């Protein structure tokens, strides 16, 4: 029987930055311009990594602070985070910094947790940009140099770099070969410490099961 690995990705960031759109683009290849606020949604997918079944849970969160208990639980149980801002909104980058502070406060192992910072709405950046990519990379690499973190710009609307966000998270989590990221880590080597500490946690949210990829290579 194949070995089973499990990873829980938690998506955080301000309201309206495109967290749900990124997930829907990635899992269901759909996109809508309509906005519907999220409370919390859990999706899951399984991938066959050649003898190892990788179960990926993706937790979509609300962008506001109305549900502090849910938020604390989501941070406590994450193996990896995607922090999303919109390149068109300076305040949304500020919100990402706040999310990171929450992670730092709650997780003693924060330096070991894979984090991808996603600058969404890059399709609007030519005309409406408020956050420069260098500003974000400076923040990550100067202020938080030892973190397992990467920054990527993306567009859920135009499907740019959306799957790269998830590939990078799994690479940083050591589940996929890092390939061109060239950061010295190697693939399928070991779990993050966060993985071990949260393995037995159970989700209390409603679960929407994603369709199992037939070729196991959607990521
Ligand atoms: N132009 C543009 N709009 C986007 C993009 N991603 C999401 N949106 C829009 O931004 C709004 C908020 O998206 P949503 O995914 O619900 O944000 P969330 O609150 O972070 O989950 C919606 O109207 C989306 O259609 C994108 O990449 N480009
Ligand atoms: Mg949402």
Sequence-separated (6 or more) residues with CB below 8 Å from residue 29? 159
pLDDT digits (tens, 9 = 90+) for 113-156: 999 999 999 999 999 999 999 999 999 987 677 778 999 999 99
Question: How far is the centre of ligand 1, averaged over its atoms, from the C-alpha of 161 (Å)?
Answer: 15
For ligand 1, atom 8, the nearest C-alpha belongs to 18
Neighbours of 183 (CB within 10 A): 10
The whole-angstrom separation of Cα 78 and Cα 63 is: 17
pLDDT of residue 191: 36
User: Taking the mean position of all CA atoms in its chain, how far away is CA 151?
Assistant: 11
pLDDT digits (tens, 9 = 90+) for 74-100: 999 999 999 999 999 999 999 999 999
Which domains does the chain possess?
4-211 (3.40.50.300)
**What is the DSSP annotation of 160-202?**
BSHHHHHHHHHHHTTSS--GGG-SS--TT----HHHHHHTT--
User: Which residues are 3's β-sheet partners?
Assistant: 52
Residues having CB within 6 Å of any atom of ligand 1: 15-21, 32-33, 35, 38, 63, 120-121, 123-124, 155-157
pLDDT of residue 13: 96
pLDDT digits (tens, 9 = 90+) for 2-49: 566 899 999 999 999 999 999 999 999 999 999 999 889 999 999 887
pLDDT of residue 187: 31
Q: What Å distances lie between residue 203 and 34, 36, 76, CA to CA?
A: 28, 23, 12
Alpha helices in the chain (DSSP H): 19-28, 68-77, 90-106, 125-128, 133-138, 162-172, 193-198
């Amino acid at each position: 029987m194949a070995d089973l690995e499990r990873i829980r990705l938690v998506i955080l960031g301000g309201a309206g930055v495109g967290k749900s759109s990124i997930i829907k683009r990635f899992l269901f290849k759909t996109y809508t311009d309509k906005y519907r606020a999220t409370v919390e949604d859990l999706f899951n997918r399984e991938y066959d990594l050649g003898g190892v079944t990788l179960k990926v849970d993706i937790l979509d969160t609300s962008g506001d602070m109305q549900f502090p208990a849910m938020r604390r639980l989501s941070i406590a149980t994450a193996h990896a985070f995607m922090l999303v801002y919109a390149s068109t909104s300076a305040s949304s980058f500020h919100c990402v910094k706040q999310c990171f502070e929450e992670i730092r406060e709650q997780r003693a192992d924060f330096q070991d947790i894979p984090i991808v910072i996603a600058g969404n709405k890059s399709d609007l950046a030519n005309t409406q940009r408020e956050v420069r990519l260098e500003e974000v990379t400076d923040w990550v690499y100067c202020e938080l140099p030892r973190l397992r973190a990467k920054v990527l710009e993306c567009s859920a609307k135009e499907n740019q770099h959306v799957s790269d966000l998830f590939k990078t998270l799994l690479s940083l989590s050591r589940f996929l070969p890092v390939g061109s990221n060239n950061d010295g880590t190697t693939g399928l080597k070991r779990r993050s410490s966060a993985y071990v500490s949260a393995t037995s946690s159970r989700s209390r949210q409603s679960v929407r099961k994603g369709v199992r990829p037939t070729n196991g290579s959607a990521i």
